Amino acid sequence: MDAFTMIILACVTGEPSCTTARVADAQFTSVEACEARVDAITASMTKELGQRLELKGREVTYDVSCMSRQQLQDNFGIADRSA
Give the domain ranges of the chain: 4-76
CA distance 25 to 79: 16
Q: Provide DSSP, 23-50.
A: EE-TT--SHHHHHHTHHHHHHHHHHHHH
Can you give the pTM of this predicted structure? 0.78
What confidence tens digit (pLDDT) does each residue in 12-56 have? 999 999 999 999 888 899 999 999 999 999 999 999 998 999 988
**Residue 83 reports pLDDT greater than 50:** no
Query: Which of the four pLDDT bands, split at 50, 70 and 90, describes residue 81?
Result: low
**Residue 63 reports pLDDT greater than 90:** yes
Residue type at 82? S
Write phi, then psi, for 80 (nearest 5 degrees): -75, 125
**Residue 80 reports pLDDT greater than 80:** no
pLDDT at 1: 55
CA distance 41 to 67: 16
